[in-house]
Amino acid sequence: MKTRSAPTLPDIEAARGRIEGLARVTPVYPSETFSRLAGREVHLKAETLQRTGSFKIRGAVNRILTLTEAEREAGVVAASAGNHGQAVAWAAREIGVPAQIFMPLDAPLAKLDATRNYGARVELTGEFFDDALAAALEVADATGATFVHAFEDPEVIAGQGTIGFELAEQIPGVETVVIPIGGGGLAAGIAIALHALRPRVRLVGVQAAACSPLTGEKDHGYTIADGIAVKSPGELTSSILEERLEAVVSVTDEEISQAIVLLLERAKLVVEGAGAAGLAAVLAGKVTGGGPVGVVLSGGNIDPSLLITVMRHGLSLAGRYLVVRTRVSDRPGELIKLLDLVARERVNVVSVEHHREGMAISVTDTEVELTLATRDEEHCAALVEAMGRWGYDVERLR
């Protein structure tokens, strides 16, 4: 790292010119749906549509473009479990610099493959991110390669800060900007830019409740917002944020999952847990004020299997999926009779499971578990009540 001082607005402006043509200027979408739900004007900054699927490309490109010729020849090294590694790999390929990325052994396959496909040499090492970080630093020291930190680097922060310029131009009337915080590079860069360009704009940071050191929480657990699950933000980024953020709030995985579902269904945007945290905070009423709010959707690289789980869970919470268990006589026609009654309630049957063996039920009965697609919670309650009227003992599972 060249310096420990925070980047300035001219540094961010220089980064903007440097990354032009490599990083995209991402769109901002005003949302009628989210504005209605939040009770205020909501604008979505879709960094999900950025190259490699997240904002990280901005900082990676800016950092690598500032290397000397000798540093470029020595290459770059990074440690990442996801978005940062992909960004460094892509940026290095486009600029013509060798890249070596260290990732934990259990890094998501989709992110691992993407990093390799961008041309980087990927090394899997250790069970945790800290193991990959230690290995990357050791190689950088031994080979003379430049270690590209995910957030604790002024050039990286300046690259992320280019989003602040775009927000100032794209939402001139914005009163509040909501930014997810992990290591703090994204929030720090945007904060520096907006503090200079729009000093009256309120900046609110968002962390996952299971890992929110800036809100004073000391216990850290699993969260679907893995992109912001950083136990200790950087010293440089923290010093910037302490000075410029108005507040830091936290959101639960339940709130995040609901935001992911709504973004996919209403905005047609695939957003990862970290990227949806800001909108989750706005919809949960945790961002004070009533004026226009800009929400940075920081990334969209969610694992497909997790997305399926989140969608099913979110739809269940919204009353869009109903799972019930009941019993029918183990005779021909009894199941079709039940399904016909359910169909008359305008409910679609997603799956049917029979349970006979190992159940404490009569030999003449069979247990049936139904997964049903419903309209809303009111529809779910009406169906459960109707099944009771029809003579079925119903246990609602979710």
Q: What is the pLDDT of residues 22-43, one digit of tens each?
A: 999 999 999 999 999 999 999 9
| C-beta atoms surrounding 353 within 10 Å | 11
Taking only Cα atoms into account, the Rg of the chain, rounded to an integer number of angstroms, comes to 25
Give the CATH fold of the 9-56+154-313 domain. Answer: Rossmann fold (3.40.50)
For residue 18, give every residue at least 6 positions away whose Cβ sits within 8 Å of its Cβ, in sequence order, or none: 61, 62, 65, 66
SS3 label, residue 180 = strand
Looking at residue 139, its amino acid is V
User: Residue 47 gets which letter from DSSP?
Assistant: G
Question: Could you give the count of Cα atoms lying within 13 Å of 112 in the half-sphere of its Cβ?
Answer: 12
Answer yes or no: CATH 3.40.50.1100 is held by domain 57-147.
Answer: yes
- In one letter, which amino acid is 398? R
Residue 359, classed as helix, strand or coil, is coil
The DSSP string of 208-246 is: ETTB-GGGT-------S-GGG--SS--HHHHHHHHHH-S
Alpha carbons within 13 angstroms on the beta-carbon side of residue 143 total 19
Helical segments of 271-350, H only: 273-283, 304-317, 334-344
Choose which CATH entry (3.50.50.100, 3.30.70.260, 3.40.50.720, 3.90.1150.10) describes domain 319-396: 3.30.70.260
CATH 3.40.50.1100 domain locations along the chain: 9-56+154-313, 57-147
Helix (H, G, I), strand (E, B) or coil at 134: helix
In the DSSP assignment, the letter for residue 345 is: T
**Cβ contacts of 75 within 8 Å, gap of 6 or more:** 92, 97, 98, 99, 100, 143, 145, 146
Q: In the beta sheet, which residues pair with residue 250?
A: 207
Distance CA(80)–CA(103), nearest Å, equals: 5
- Give the residues of the chain that fall short of pLDDT 50: 1-3
Q: Can you tell me which residue has the tokens 């390669």?
A: 145
Q: Are 150 and 84 in contact (CB under 8 A)?
A: yes
Q: List where CATH 3.30.70.260 sits in the chain.
A: 319-396
pLDDT at position 358 is 55
Taking CA 291 as the corner, what is the angle to CA 286 and CA 295, rounded to the nearest 5 degrees?
60
